[in-house]
Amino acid sequence: MKPGLKTQIDHFITWLEVEKRYSSETLRGYQIDLNQFLTFLEGHDIACVKDPNQIDRTVVRSFLGHLSGDLGLQTRSVARKLAAIKSLFKFMHKEGVVSLNIAAYVHTPKLPGVIPSYLSEKQIVAVLESLNSSDSWMAKRDLAIVELFYSTGMRVSELAGLTGSDLNRHKGTVTVMGKGSKQRVIPVGQYAWEAIDDYQYALKKKFGERTGEHALFLGRNGQVLKPTGIRLRVKKAIKAIAELKKMSPHVLRHTFATHLLNAGADLMALKDLLGHENLSTTQVYTHVQVDKMKKVFQKAHPRAGKK
């Protein structure tokens, strides 16, 4: 008899970690979503838990209905959890655990067009200036973090994984390890370099000489600053200046992308800078170009109906 669903989920998570080399944050997300699916099945159909072959499209749809109806989750959250289930079944089908990948036949709910939260140029300057008001080594660290986010648009997991050797001061670039263990090289702006130099000098005075193999960003006691800590620092910095629904490092990633497009950057170049696999992911930022075109139209067209 083949192992039940819980064991298969464990095998799948291990495969993502070892073979796909997904980040700890991504693995945690998969684990949470799939454990929620497992818990649902334990309360509704224990046969499906014992034998994944017993799971059919109706069972998966019931789970999605439970998420949106009973729990009131947004469409985007439901779609993410379904994506995790689809990945699990694709894995189990490939491993011969299930005879049919039934999840592939479950329709993904249509996502609403959501414009990402981002800071205006005036707001991001205010955030950076507010962080530049103290000489403590941790204040210099926080400024370097925000400057680097805004200069490169990297993900929080990528920034948390940086070491000193990932920085190339001579070429003015930083090498990051993106999703699926894909490396990419991103240019770093002068203001970010100055903030990093100030931080590293203060760090040396606090903890002594460090090699390039050590983590770049440290916590209060010299331990590696984890993504959770980075999020807290960024949220605090943004909250002091702007009122946004979301104040995560992803806001700085959106700000980076939006400001580049505002200045006329090419969408394909932005795709490479952000580390997106598909152009469709990057196209969420084209709202900026649409807004600019509307302003040009209203200003220039004689029949635009402007007052």
Judged on CB neighbours under 10 Å (0-12, 13-18, 19+), 191 is middle
Mean pLDDT of 43-65: 93
Beta strands in 114-246 (DSSP E): 167-168, 173-177, 183-187
Domain residue limits, the chain? 5-105, 121-294
CA-closest candidate to residue 12, choices 90, 109, 129: 90
Q: Which pair of tokens denotes residue 283?
A: 């196209």
SS3 4: coil
Residue 229 neighbours by CB distance under 10 Å? 17
Distance of alpha carbon 264 from alpha carbon 293, whole angstroms? 12
Residue 149 has pLDDT above 90, yes or no: yes
Do the two domains 5-105 and 121-294 of this chain adopt the same fold?
Answer: no
Residues recognised as catalytic: 155, 179, 250, 253, 276, 285
DSSP 276-296: -SSHHHHGGGGHHHHHHHHHH
User: Between residues 303 and 129, which one has the greater pLDDT?
Assistant: 129
pTM across the whole model:
0.67
Q: Sheet containing 183-187: which strands, arranged edge to edge?
A: 167-168, 173-177, 183-187
Mean pLDDT of 240-246: 74
Among the ranges given (35-39, 157-161, 287-291), the one the predictor scored with the smallest mean pLDDT: 287-291
Mean pLDDT of the chain: 89
Q: Which band of pLDDT confidence, cut at 50, 70 and 90, is reported for residue 152? A: very high
Buried (b) or exposed (e) across 83-97, using 16+ Cβ within 10 A?
Answer: ebbbbbbebbbeeeb
For domain 5-105, the CATH architecture is Orthogonal Bundle (1.10)
Q: What is the CATH number of domain 121-294?
A: 1.10.443.10
